[in-house]
Structure 1
Amino acid sequence: MSNPCRRHFQRTTAALAAAEAVGPEQSMEGANAYELQMAQLLQDRLRLKQIQSVEGKCALKRQLLPAYEPYVQGVIEAGRGAQDEVLTTVMLWRIDAGDFAGALDLAAYVLEHGLLMPDRFERTSGCLIAEEVAEAALLALKAGGTFDLAMLHRTVELTHDHDMPDEARAKLYLATGRVTLVGLTPEQPGQPGQVSAAIELLKRAIELNTSCGGKKDLEGAERLLKKIAPVTGS
């Protein structure tokens, strides 16, 4: 798979196939490039099923993802929105592997063209993307770390116009609000308006779902704002 000529061929054939299938009412099924990737995907899913550890599954996905890169590049470059289970699966695997920038690049294509998730997923594409990124951020915070705020902002933007349960959107706003507040103190208040922005995000999360868990975060953010307001003018 590291052979440049082989990768170029895969990307080119994927682009040609994707350019011929137009719109979400059509599928990539039947295209040779797609069927080859689906065959590989089925084999890789069998390998993943043999691993019980979630951490182990994520590690294997990191190893497997490069093999799909040429195909994905070809589809993104020339695709016209046909249903594509390989693409949506790779998007999710990228989230699991921690490649959020790469996942959101695919999410932009998926959401723009209205691609559906495979039948085994009960959530819509927009809902799944919002929740998966939000849950990853919340888990990182729970473990004592942080998360790339730009990835959360991009997720909010990408999924803004897509229907989903209020609880799912609340989770995304909660995660974004919490990450916005990471490391902020009266002595280190962050950028002008940063605390106020976090407060609005948390308020929106609570408005959407009163049980989202953001009330204490909101109280803490409002106390912080009172302490820094005379200094920053926030």
Structure 2
Amino acid sequence: MELTTTSQSLSYANLPKLPSLFPSRVNVCSSNSINILGFNCIPRKLKCNARKQLRQFGAIHASVAESNSTNVSVTWLLEFIGDGDARHIGSPTAKPGSLEIPSGAVTVGRLAEKADMVIPVPTVSAVHALLQSMEEYLVVTDLDSTNGTFIGEKRLRPGVAAAASPGSLLTFGDTNLAIFRVAKLEKMETPSEPEKAEANTEEEEPSSS
């Protein structure tokens, strides 16, 4: 501010004409004062941006830590709910038990040498359907079976995949001996617990000294 005042007092005074270099010095001083003011503003903006970036980084770091703290493993189960009536077959037939679906894709059928999971019922085809475990649902594909594959009351088209959600009914050709309820089991796993157990075991071991 002092430099600006000096330049104004010189412009109003009745002084003889000065060399051409003097006004340029005054302009340089005034421009320097503007630059100084601008320089004072720049660090404030940088500080504000740095605080925002730190807050954003802290939020990301917290979300990553929470996601890594626990893992969820999903297991699909087919619970047999049929009445076991075998009169339509004409011979005694044992009721199948519940089936736990492993991860990946598996086939379901009557013959053990052809299917991954066996339902020993004559009305079930040798290789009846394909099951694939997903996180939210079970994917079911009919493999051109004789008596069909049903989700609820809807018969699936052969070769066309369909989603079976938890609680839905899945039938492999026989509503008495091959009808199941789809169940989803979730298990919470904490990877840090085994590591803590190993650390405690090492501490309890006697030293060799």
**TM-score, normalization by structure 1:** 0.22
Choose 1 or 2 for highest CA Rg: 2
**TM-score, normalization by structure 2:** 0.24
Larger helix proportion, structure 1 or 2?
1
Larger strand proportion, structure 1 or 2?
2
- Where relative contact order (Cα < 8 A, 6+ residues apart) is larger, the structure is 2
